[in-house]
Amino acid sequence: MRILFVASECFPYVKTGGLADVAASLPPALRALGADVRLLLPGYPGVLDRLRVMRTVRSLPALPGLPDGARARLLGSLGEDDLTVYALDAPAFFAREGNPYQRPDGRDWPDNHLRFAALCRTAALMGLEGDGDGWVPDIIHGHDWQAGLVPAYLRHAGWVFDGKPVPGTVFTIHNLAFQGLFPPDVLRPLGLPSDTFTHEELEYYGKVGFLKAGLVYSDRLTTVSPTYAHEIQGWEMGFGLDGVLRRRANVLSGILNGIDLRHWDPATDPFITQRYDSGQLDRRAANKADLQRAFGLEVRPDALLFGVVSRLTHQKGIDLIVQALPRIMGLGGQVAVLGTGSAELEQALADASADHKGRVGLRLAYDEGLSHRVQAGADVLMVPSRFEPCGLTQMYALRYGTLPLVTPVGGLADTVADVTEAALAHRTATGFVTDAVDLPALLRAVERAAGLYRHGELWRQVQRTAMGRDVGWEASAQAYLGLYTSLQVDSTSMSQ
């Protein structure tokens, strides 16, 4: 089975969040099960500079919004894990350093609709005509709003189909909060018919919604955890799309993300001071001291150290962490925050670290290596999100024996088993789950963590259970494969 992944970011080429990790680690997991998965990415500098042995596989016809004579071609290459990666080399759109979606001043690139429509149109073209080297996908699997127009183009671009089979489409929602919304007058330059601007199709409250296109036109929809699949069909977490999602509930499923155990394994991690496994928990002490030094914290082995590795945004509940700091200080704890995000939250954290010198450490940076050191050295990893489609950092934490402290939402609820008396007795507890998403609930969980920390042997028991949890990709890759297969069966029965 041939599957083309379409994503706007992928580790290690370009990454702003968990989507990049998924785009990097799910394809090899699918390949291990026998699927021929390839990946289409925008040709950002970070992609073009890192790919090996690139060759032009096909030139591309006019892409919407591309100036006359501007270069647009599809490059093919072997990427990480010998995965075939296609890059859309269109310098007018993608030869821009830094964040893939935003200008250096933090505002969205004004031509984002053209940039990601070009990606989608290229994917659709590959779906109909192949890559120029004879490879034609059976299924196109798009991720998030940047890939939302793929099925719209397959359906509406007015290409002559010549009886060619149209690939099946799968669309995965990684975050419903980012929808790719643009004014209605973009439809014409994008080459989409104006009669698609209805509530049933592309219109989202007066705007054109790229994510909505993915939701209404794709054959199958998935999101990244079972709980989130359920939550987004309700008003509170549906971001105005709950009606569409309820209508499509029969093709919507939640498949939990996994993590890449080759990059995230404390026994082999090249970034950390002292490697360890679940039988060598004492070795974590060296990593804790390293982390305390890296964040300017007092080097105290006994201080309960809370780590945070996150985008600093409202979604992630960072404001709740700021408000919880006095209580954590009162309990003798320490906090190390690694992240970047909203100016307001960055400032609030900077003020707190100045107020609590040596006890609240802050690194306003995006630093892959340091994120591994936080996971290996902290006692608790805090993720008090207001909503969380899946969340990867709590899974990294489980793997590293850092007990996650999370809210009961989305993938956090699906991956962390709360320390209750019964769960301790059955040795199933893996972390702390708050009983609501607010400050009092967060404080109650913090206190429970401090309480358990005083019982060293119990704490280590929970660490060992956490480290033994299956957080790899295999089961979920099987689930995706089942979904692809069901689509192929459908299309065969339709053509008969």
Contact between 224 and ligand GLC (CB under 6 A)? yes
Residue 133 and residue 389: Cα distance in Å, rounded? 37
Contact between 310 and ligand ADP (CB under 6 A)? yes
Segment near ligand GLC (CB under 6 A), from 30-38, 295-303, 327-335, 385-393?
385-393
- The listed partner (ligand GLC, ligand ADP, none) that binds 309, CB under 5 to 8 Å by sort, is ligand ADP
Q: β-strand 84-89 against 252-254: which pairing, if any?
A: unpaired
Tell me the CA distances in angstroms from 101 to 11, 42, 107, one per residue in order.
16, 11, 8
Contact between 201 and ligand GLC (CB under 6 A)? no
Q: β-strand 73-78 against 84-89: which pairing, if any?
A: antiparallel
Q: Do the beta carbons of residue 153 and residue 121 sit within 8 Å?
A: yes
Q: Which is nearer to ligand ADP, 318 or 390 (CB)?
A: 390
Residue 209 and residue 212: Cα distance in Å, rounded? 5
Mapped onto helix, strand or coil, the DSSP state of residue 369 is helix
Mapped onto helix, strand or coil, the DSSP state of residue 235 is coil
Contact between 232 and ligand GLC (CB under 6 A)? no
Contact between 18 and ligand ADP (CB under 6 A)? yes
Contact between 312 and ligand GLC (CB under 6 A)? no
Contact between 179 and ligand ADP (CB under 6 A)? no
Closest CA to 8 of 134, 122, 156: 122
Beta carbon of residue 150, minimum distance to ligand ADP (angstroms, whole number): 21
Q: β-strand 73-78 against 2-6: which pairing, if any?
A: unpaired
Which residue of 80, 388, 414, 418 would you call a contact of ligand GLC, by CB under 6 A? 388
Q: Do the beta carbons of residue 413 and residue 338 sit within 8 Å?
A: no
Q: What is the CA radius of gyration of the chain?
A: 23
Contact between 340 and ligand ADP (CB under 6 A)? yes
Phi, psi of 403 (to 5 degrees): -75, 120
Which residue of 185, 368, 470, 490 would you call a contact of ligand ADP, by CB under 6 A? 368
DSSP letters spanning 348-361:
HHHHHHHHTTTTEE
Which residue of 3, 4, 10, 19 would you call a contact of ligand GLC, by CB under 6 A? 19
Beta carbon of residue 353, minimum distance to ligand ADP (angstroms, whole number): 15
Q: Return the residue nearest ligand GLC (CB atom).
A: 18
Which residue of 1, 2, 17, 54 would you call a contact of ligand GLC, by CB under 6 A? 17
Beta carbon of residue 88, minimum distance to ligand ADP (angstroms, whole number): 23
Q: Do the beta carbons of residue 274 and residue 267 sit within 8 Å?
A: no
> How many residues appear in the chain?
496
- The listed partner (ligand GLC, ligand ADP, none) that binds 338, CB under 5 to 8 Å by sort, is ligand ADP
Tokens linked to 365? 């940076």
Contact between 18 and ligand GLC (CB under 6 A)? yes
Contact between 390 and ligand GLC (CB under 6 A)? yes
Contact between 371 and ligand ADP (CB under 6 A)? yes
Closest CA to 392 of 311, 483, 279: 311
Q: Contact letters (x/-) for ligand ADP, 311-330, by CB under 6 A?
A: x-------------------
Q: Hey, which residues between 252 and 291 contact ligand ADP (CB under 6 A)?
A: none
Q: Which is nearer to ligand ADP, 209 or 258 (CB)?
A: 258
Q: Find tokens 């990867």 and name the residue.
A: 392
Residue 43 and residue 91: Cα distance in Å, rounded? 8
Tell me the CA distances in angstroms from 298 to 254, 285, 321, 359, one per residue in order.
43, 14, 20, 7
Segment near ligand GLC (CB under 6 A), from 14-22, 130-138, 329-337, 432-440?
14-22
Beta carbon of residue 461, minimum distance to ligand ADP (angstroms, whole number): 26
Contact between 367 and ligand ADP (CB under 6 A)? yes
Residue 421 amino acid letter: E
Contact between 344 and ligand ADP (CB under 6 A)? no
Q: Which residues bind ligand ADP (CB under 6 A)?
A: 17-18, 21, 309-311, 338-340, 366-368, 371, 390-393
